[in-house]
Structure 1
Amino acid sequence: MYLIPYSVVQIFNAINIFIQYPSVIINILIIYISFRKVNSSLPRTYCLNISIPSLLCSLHQIARDITERTVFKDHEETSDPTYTKIVKVLDTMLPQSTLNLYLFQTTLTVVLAYIGFSKPFLYKRLTKTRAISYAFIVSQALSWLLAAGSTVENFSLYPLDDDFDRTALCIHTWARAATQLTLFAVMGLLYLLTIVRLTMYACRTQIYSSGQQSRWLILRSVLIYCTPPNVFIAVGVAGSYCSAVILTLIPVDRMFFVSTCTPVKHVAEQLITPRLFVTSLSALFAFADYRKAITSMFSEIVRRKKKLFFVTARTVSS
């Protein structure tokens, strides 16, 4: 069995802890801009649904790190078992629900952006109802449901003595993995269709209406946003599959897969925090409304600094 060296794991842990702090700042900034600077739109709805869970996940990781460095620093082995159990549940539930939410809501957002560009009248009918809001709510519920399944898997002890328990565990484990693989495949297909549609649109020379141009920009922004996180998601989906293989196969069959699957699973787990960070960071640069808001905020800060500098200089000179 080939595992990641402990020194590499330590480096990953240090990087993950460090990333949490800028992640908190970025997600708070996204939430602030969404409520104060950006009008209601598909990108705004998506960014809020992603940034709030990501913020909670980062705050939990920071709180856990601070607690372990202070309260339980000198007596790790005698730590409160209730605290340990709660932390283990949150360590699985919060990151997994956020990652599942990315899969669900990115797929949903790409679908809606694609419909908005290719079928604008259908998109208008959808926006006039609560269908889109209900879809995002359902994706939230499904994300937490899959995260609960992952938590059950992590707390399951292998081997299981009861055949019924083993069967139930196998069914829900492979159902979770199949759902994640299906979502990734659908998102990948829509990703390719979007590239084709955007390329065809860019090659045309006729003048388009401002509405169609706006929908094209939104679709392009969604495509740009999806690209960096999807590199990490591919590793995450592979890790999800490997986790299902390791957990559900009997020992004889499992040995053929474990030497390859175990490192992939560990790498996927270590990349959870960078994936969430890249997901949040991409939103600030992919969507035009957020880029404009950030530029406006920094321009205002610079203007005030210059004004304060000139006032101070005049006061000193006088």
Structure 2
Amino acid sequence: MTHEHHVFMEIEACLFYLKKFVQYGTIVLAFSIVFLSIKYVRSSLIRTYTLNLCFAGLSCALYSLFRPLFDPLLEEDLIGKTGVVIDNFIHVLMLFPALVLHEVQGTLLIALTYMCFSKPMRFRDVFSKRNVWISFILGNILSVFLGFAMYIEEMEIINSLAAIRVHDVFRFVVELCLISVMFTCYFRTFYVLFIMNNASPLEQSSTEKRNRASLQAVLIYCTTPNVFLVLGICASGCSMVDTLRMKVITEAQKMSHGESNILMYFAKNTIMIRLFISLACALLAFPQYREATTQFMNAITKRPSVIKVEPTRKMASSRMEDTCVVFM
């Protein structure tokens, strides 16, 4: 057993209670968001994205919570090699697509929001409800595909070092593209909000104020998760470099299990923390969920609500208003 493996075991022991807190916290946040979305939040891009991430976090949390209970029944001598392959497939399918979903859908959210609210005249014909839904469906398909690529890596690791090299290069390129789009839209949003627009609040129309509020909410939401995106791209880069330098399969096998790359270890073992922080940021950053939480708390305390949730808007005559309804 290597020194790095001992270090990782000590880290896991120290983080045991933190993991439990994150698991239960994610479950509570996920059910809360589902309830608020159904009862108080109207259909919008924000609700679609938040629910999408919410279901991913809930499935990961429940799987991580109950999977250890079945470990005694899933030993290799009891289920055979075929059973191990199936078990590994389920494990990767339940965890890694959610991790990639956080990156893909987060990038999609800030890109769509930036284009809609900073350049509405150019993109107003593109962002119908149908096109937004298609974008999110394609994002989910890409997430499952990339998660399945991780499964291929796990299965091919003993037989082919070349397969691992191809996989690591492919994963690095995809994550580099995602983070490039994310940070481009992120800093462009920052530029639009704080540098380009110098008009005073009194000079802004109601539409401009609404657009700025939406951009600010997405900017606040994306700040914390972006730290984990940086961690992920650094880990993938280190993994790719390490793999390209390997000449024997045993070293690549150690790397895949997180024993020679601490960045890869943290990237693979912070899935629940990323989802937990993303769900918490959604409740705090997005005004729809802040208002919904206030409504719910007022209902519990039997006080008249001071914030009325706007009903779903009718089809506006203006295409500009229709675009805002989809995204707000």
Pair 102,185 (structure 1): closer, same or farther in 2 beyond 3 Å: same
Residue 288 of structure 1 aligns with which residue? 287
Residue 265 of structure 2 aligns with which residue? 266
1:187 equivalent to 2:182? Answer yes
Residue 88 of structure 1 aligns with which residue? 88
Cα shift at 1:237: 2.2
Aligned mates of 1:267, 1:14 — CA distance in 2? 17
Pair 158,250 (structure 1): closer, same or farther in 2 beyond 3 Å: farther
Equivalent residues in 2 for 1:211-250, closer than 5 Å: 211-250=207-246
Cα shift at 1:32: 2.0
Equivalent residues in 2 for 1:153-192, closer than 5 Å: 153-158=153-158, 160=160, 166-192=161-187
Moved more, 116-125 or 293-302: 116-125
> What secondary structure does 1:38 align onto?
coil
**Letter aligned with residue 198 of structure 1:** L
Cα shift at 1:37: 1.1
Which of the pair is proportionally richer in helix? Answer: 1
Pair 65,260 (structure 1): closer, same or farther in 2 beyond 3 Å: closer
Cα shift at 1:140: 0.8
1:6 equivalent to 2:4? Answer no
Residue 132 of structure 2 aligns with which residue? 132
Cα shift at 1:24: 1.0
Aligned mates of 1:85, 1:33 — CA distance in 2? 39
Residue 145 of structure 2 aligns with which residue? 145
% identical aligned pairs: 29
Aligned mates of 1:262, 1:50 — CA distance in 2? 28
**Letter aligned with residue 16 of structure 1:** K
Cα shift at 1:79: 5.0
Cα shift at 1:18: 3.1
Pair 5,144 (structure 1): closer, same or farther in 2 beyond 3 Å: closer
Cα shift at 1:134: 1.3
List runs of 5+ in structure 1 lacking aligned partners.
161-165, 305-318
Give the alignment's TM-score, normalised by structure 1: 0.82
Question: Rg larger in 1 or in 2?
Answer: 1
Aligned mates of 2:58, 2:97 — CA distance in 1? 12
CA contact (8 A) 1:170 1:248 kept: yes
CA contact (8 A) 1:112 1:123 kept: no
Pair 269,289 (structure 1): closer, same or farther in 2 beyond 3 Å: same
Cα shift at 1:77: 7.3
Residue 69 of structure 2 aligns with which residue? 66
CA contact (8 A) 1:242 1:261 kept: no
CA contact (8 A) 2:156 2:163 kept: no
CA contact (8 A) 2:157 2:164 kept: no
Aligned mates of 1:277, 1:291 — CA distance in 2? 17
Aligned mates of 2:92, 2:239 — CA distance in 1? 13
Pair 302,263 (structure 1): closer, same or farther in 2 beyond 3 Å: same
Aligned mates of 2:84, 2:92 — CA distance in 1? 13
> What secondary structure does 1:125 align onto?
coil
Residue 40 of structure 1 aligns with which residue? 43
Cα shift at 1:95: 2.3
Aligned mates of 1:172, 1:269 — CA distance in 2? 16
Cα shift at 1:139: 1.0
Pair 92,207 (structure 1): closer, same or farther in 2 beyond 3 Å: same
Cα shift at 1:288: 0.1
List runs of 5+ in structure 2 lacking aligned partners.
304-328
Aligned mates of 2:129, 2:76 — CA distance in 1? 55
Aligned mates of 2:153, 2:241 — CA distance in 1? 12
